[in-house]
Amino acid sequence: MSLPRCSLHLLVLTGALALTACGSDGGAEQSRFQPEIITHFADDVVVPTYQQLATRLATLDSAVAALSAGPTSAQLTAAQEAWIAARAPWEQSEGFLFGPVDSFGYDPALDSWPVNRTDLDAVLASNDAFTPEYVRNLQETQKGFHTVEYLLFGEGRTKKVEDLTQRQLDYLKALATELKSVSAALASEWSQSVEGRPPYRDVLASAGQAGNTAYPSVQAAAQEMVGGIINILDEVANGKIADPYDAKDPQLVESQFAYNSLKDFTDNLRSVENVYLGRLPGATPKGPSLADFVKGERPELDTRIRQELTAAIDALGRIPEPFRDAITDPAAAGEIEAAQAAIRKAQNTFESDVKPLIQ
């Protein structure tokens, strides 16, 4: 049933296809996209982001253990701050949500929403012992970042240390320990050989080399980088902001208990910056980046991208927190829509101008 090649060619030529520059498949022209950009992205952005997540969730675990052992206001504040600090690398990882994070269920284990309050209340009301095995068997929706957030901050960020029962403290402690362990496993999958699997960093960094079936070309890995950027920009403007804003439903707002929503969104944009610039905030790039490639192709485009990302972050900064209240406040509507527009503008630039450069 194979279609003869000549008719295939005709089929495509008569179809509504744009014929553009050569890709790598036929090897007719080598892309100027250096493989080192991928290696540095893996080593200087992905791996350190996950390591920072593991470190900060270990800190959260310690802070929650201290809170549980002798609850004071200061310790509750310390645990809340540790939660907010751990949230940043997770949100900064959402520009590259591929690889082991889904294979091994780490994403839902860390970041499931909504909080399953029915079962959470039932578990807290029970006499069940919160052993590691017991907690491992619970649904993701009654653990992870947002259940910890719900318990640490409460509805409307009203939690006081005297509100916390010992039962809740014990449960928090068990959840924080599991978060620590999940994030350590996620970081290991990228940086170490686990159960015979090579570090996933190697899979990405060896894009285009013989035997790499996940990324048979450097272009495929470059597309993965840009696809991740476009995906998270779309998600922030058209999902994380649009869903609750359009529905005027605070229940749909991410990180609503900690009033951390806008910081989450901002860290998502930082994630884009990190991928584009090939470094974490405050660090100096150690090698060629996607930005360098774009600059080499079209210098004015690189300038525009940097400006648009900065403008999008600034626009988010002008929305008043808590975001869960801002979505129903007519006075904030202008700022919310301006932020969406700024993020969509950057998304459109990556979609229309950057993607064609790496086809």
Q: Taking the complex as a whole, how short is the minimal distance between the CB of residue 140 and another protein, in angstroms?
A: 7
What is d(CA 49, CA 278) in angstroms, rounded to the nearest whole number?
12
Q: Taking the complex as a whole, how short is the minimal distance between the CB of residue 18 and another protein, in angstroms?
A: 5
Pick 9 or 286: Cβ nearer another protein: 9
Q: Taking the complex as a whole, how short is the minimal distance between the CB of residue 241 and another protein, in angstroms?
A: 12
Nearest CA-CA partner of 190 in 20, 303, 66, 51? 51
Q: Could you count the other beta carbons within 10 Å of the beta carbon of residue 200?
A: 25
Contact (CB, 8 A) for 174 and 151? no
Pick 216 or 285: Cβ nearer another protein: 216
DSSP structural state of residue 194: B
Q: What would the two tokens of residue 27 be?
A: 């090897």
Pick 71 or 91: Cβ nearer another protein: 91
Contact (CB, 8 A) for 222 and 33? yes
C-alpha distance across the termini of the chain, in Å: 30
Pick 82 or 138: Cβ nearer another protein: 138
Q: Taking the complex as a whole, how short is the minimal distance between the CB of residue 104 and another protein, in angstroms?
A: 5
Q: Which helix (H) or strand (E) holds 335?
A: helix 333-349
Q: Taking the complex as a whole, how short is the minimal distance between the CB of residue 236 and another protein, in angstroms?
A: 10
Contact (CB, 8 A) for 273 and 309? yes
Pick 117 or 286: Cβ nearer another protein: 117
DSSP structural state of residue 17: -
Q: Taking the complex as a whole, how short is the minimal distance between the CB of residue 179 and another protein, in angstroms?
A: 11
Pick 124 or 161: Cβ nearer another protein: 124
What is d(CA 63, CA 86) in angstroms, rounded to the nearest whole number?
12
Alpha-carbon dihedral sign for residues 343, 344, 345, 351: positive
Pick 75 or 217: Cβ nearer another protein: 217
Q: What residues contact residue 196 under an 8 Å CB cut-off, 6+ apart? A: none
Q: Taking the complex as a whole, how short is the minimal distance between the CB of residue 251 and another protein, in angstroms?
A: 5
Q: Could you count the other beta carbons within 10 Å of the beta carbon of residue 280?
A: 18
Nearest CA-CA partner of 90 in 174, 149, 159? 149
Q: Taking the complex as a whole, how short is the minimal distance between the CB of residue 197 and another protein, in angstroms?
A: 7
Q: What residues contact residue 143 under an 8 Å CB cut-off, 6+ apart? A: 109, 112, 135, 175, 178, 179
Pick 101 or 277: Cβ nearer another protein: 101
Contact (CB, 8 A) for 190 and 179? no
